Amino acid sequence: MENQVLTPHVYWAQRHRELYLRVELSDVQGLTLLPRLECSSVIIAHCSLELLGLSSPPGSAYQVGLQNPAISITENVLHFKAQGHGAKGDNVYEFHLEFLDLVKPEPVYKLTQRQVNITVQKKVSQWWERLTKQEKRPLFLAPDFDRWLDESDAEMELRAKEEERLNKLRLESEGSPETLTNLRKGYLFMYNLVQFLGFSWIFVNLTVRFCILGKESFYDTFHTVADMMYFCQMLAVVETINAAIGVTTSPVLPSLIQLLGRNFILFIIFGTMEEMQNKAVVFFVFYLWSAIEIFRYSFYMLTCIDMDWKVLTWLRYTLWIPLYPLGCLAEAVSVIQSIPIFNETGRFSFTLPYPVKIKVRFSFFLQIYLIMIFLGLYINFRHLYKQRRRRYGQKKKKIH
């Protein structure tokens, strides 16, 4: 009886890549077992067990030393030995299984109060017709119907896991929606911050110079702040691109009209004609542009970090009512003042080829542009009015 080998009940299931074994053995503790020791050593072994609060099973050939459970794979054979409570009571149980095909020699197991769960990886992902190399099934081995799948169901499960893995990889490569939203907000915050600082510098500079020099400051405005205005207006191209590619929800047309209109005034009317750079109208154009933008960009900047300052919101949706028409009026004055200068210098004028030979003055296009200024004002005014109505019109309806 002392040499009798006790085997536990073992249940198995498989997938294309893995084997699952469930050993019906309860109260398997994660401790070590040793062969029975003789003489004084046996006293040490018994004392060790007593200190651990355990007792040596009667007739057992093991006390302390071997891993419990002892699970290993050598030469494609699974070896299992553990002390626990099985069909024959509290004893040492063991079994050996030679697998049908090659497996990886690193089994993974998990102990619970009622059983030992073992997972073995197949070397080749394929479906096995049985678990063991021997055709006759061992008496202690049975299918685990709780985890059992036929081959077609297992293939569907495998495809589902593969799709899940690919989706996870795609999300990691593309970035999660929350990460992309945070990146977009961070990018827009930095853009609006740079524009706010640029136009604030222009506005403060012009204000301080006017307070110190009075009207004298009007005539050297261009040479004082033109470089910063060039930078801000060139950077404004990004704003139109953002609207075009969907980074922002702003409509493209109003942004494009403002970009082209301002850059025409800045680069063509002021930038190419030195005679225009010393005129007082430059001060009013730059001052009105910067006054509008410091409130607009600061509002957008706080929106990116989910802040709503009611005073700033009101200013953003209200100040444009007087400032936009005044800005367009200043632009129109600069165009009107530039017409005789362009006629006198002949800059950008050209003659049509033979046989027409008609000279086309650039002032003709400037007169057309005057009409377009007020058409652009109407489009932008209408857009901003709709924004203000959406922002404050709903509140009024709720009050009534």
Q: Which amino acids are annotated catalytic? A: 324, 331
Distance CA 266, CA 258 (A): 12
What is the maximum alpha-carbon separation in the chain? Answer: 128
**Residue 353 has which token pair?**
């080829």
C-beta of residue 351 within 8 angstroms of C-beta of residue 359: yes
Here the tokens at position 203 are 């506005």
* Distance, CA of 381 to chain centre: 36
Quick one: which of 148, 178, 126 has its CA closest to 21? 148
Can you give the length of the chain in residues? 400
C-alpha distances in angstroms, 139 versus 7, 11, 42, 119, 143? 10, 11, 36, 21, 12
CA dist list (Å): 190 to 194, 305, 350? 6, 11, 44
Are the CB atoms for 103 and 19 separated by under 8 Å? yes
Q: Which residues of 137-163 are buried (b: 16+ CB within 10 A; e: fewer)?
A: eeebbeeeeeeeeeeeebeeeeeeeee
CA distances from 174 to 18, 132, 142 (A): 31, 45, 46
The two tokens of residue 332 are 């129109």
Residue with tokens 């409570």: 85
If you write DSSP's letter for every residue of 131-156 in order, what string do you get? Answer: SBSSSSPPTTEEE-TTT---HHHHHH
Residue 355 is encoded by which pair of tokens?
């046989």
What is the separation, in whole angstroms, between the first and last Cα of the chain? Answer: 96
Nearest 10 degrees: CA dihedral of 326, 328, 330, 333?
A: -130
| 197, two tokens | 């600082």
Q: How far apart are CA 71 and CA 64, in angstroms?
A: 16
Cα gap 70→298, rounded to integer Å: 69
